[in-house]
Amino acid sequence: MMQSNHEKIENIVQLILNDYEDDRAVNKTDLYNQPNKEAIIDVVEKLLKILYPGYYSDKVYKIYSLKNNMSATIEDVIFHLKKQIMVVLKYANACSDITDIELDERAKNITYSFMEKIPQIRSYLDTDIQAAYEGDPAAASKDEVILSYPGLYAVSIYRIAHELFLLNVPMIPRIMTEYAHSVTGIDIHPGASIGKYFFMDHGTGIVIGETTVIGEHVKIYQGVTLGGLSTKGGQKLKGIKRHPTIGDNVTIYSGASILGGDTVIEENVVVGGNTFVTKSIEKGTRVSAKEQELQFKN
């Protein structure tokens, strides 16, 4: 006898519910102990308002009420960021057996320490804006850079996430930078160390790995990868320097791949497009790929 639609749907529902019963990662249903991705993204957007008050702030407010508006935004970020940090700290082994009161205090101290870094983050971003404006002849103004350049947007979120990473906050920094990745196509791990005056021209497809170290006045173009030489070791490579070190005043053109933790690109190097670099390069060197042979068929 054929099943009715109602019976068929009931069987499907039960089939899926039964699939939730083992302990696979996809079956985690403890919703109240999971970080809220939407809340973290909301914190990011509010932090951008704090970093760039004249650009991201709500336009409905009069200029004379900007400080009052910003005070409310700062307090809102502190409240919601602390709440999310408290949730993710439960994932950290060091916090697995402490009381909720101690956990709350630790999350509060981390949040305060992070918020005190805001002026430092803004000082770094000011140099990134300068680098973008000076480095791109197509930039009409610094306002245009702030409002429209995906590279600055991605590095702004990276600089937020990096400070949280340095404070040993689990998960949240990566959620932040992967949000920027989804919006801009630029993938910067929050663990990377990036100096002042950093400019990503065009930006799309750039990948910067966790243990990358980048100096000051570095300019990179679209499609550049600063990555690991091999990932076969998986989790065994955790904590090991896997990504390159880039010195001051280095320019890396589009499509270049620089790989390996032992690879050091010294200052004043120019790395040409579509190159594949796995060895260190001395300062002042120009690296280029041999000219490709083009074929033409009528």
Decide: residue 114, CB within 10 A, 0-12 exposed, 13-18 middle, 19+ buried. Answer: buried
Tokens of 124: 């770094």
Encoding tokens for residue 281? Answer: 């390069």
* Architecture of the domain spanning 29-187: Orthogonal Bundle (1.10)
- Do 29-187 and 192-290 come out as alike in CATH topology? no
Cα separation of 69 and 62, whole Å? 9
Whole-model pTM: value is 0.88
- Alpha-carbon distance values, 36 to 39, 83, 129, 139, 184 (Å): 5, 10, 31, 37, 22
State the DSSP string of 176-200: HHHHHHHHHS-EE-TT-EE-SS-EE
Angle at 209 between CA 183 and CA 193, to 5 degrees: 95
Residue 24: predicted pLDDT: 77
Contact status, residue 84 vs residue 46, Cβ threshold 8 Å: no
Give the CA radius of gyration of the chain: 23
Please give the pLDDT value at position 7: 84
Q: What whole-number distance in Å separates Cα of residue 93 and Cα of residue 168? A: 12
Topology at the third CATH level for domain 192-290: UDP N-Acetylglucosamine Acyltransferase; domain 1 (2.160.10)
The pLDDT score that the predictor gives to residue 65 is 67
Contact 197, 177 (CB under 8 A): no
pLDDT value of position 61 = 54
pLDDT value, residue 158? 98
Report residue 287: phi and psi, to 5°: -110, 130
Q: What is the mean pLDDT of each run of 10 residues along the chain (298 residues)?
A: 78 85 71 82 96 76 66 94 93 74 94 97 98 97 97 98 97 97 98 98 97 98 94 76 97 97 98 96 95 82
pLDDT at 18 (0 to 100):
85
Phi/psi for 225 (5° steps) reads -120, 120
Contact (Cβ atoms closer than 8 angstroms) between residue 161 and residue 179: no
Which residues have a Cβ under 8 Å from the Cβ of 153 and sit 6 or more positions away? 180, 183, 184
Which residue ranges make up each domain of the chain?
29-187, 192-290
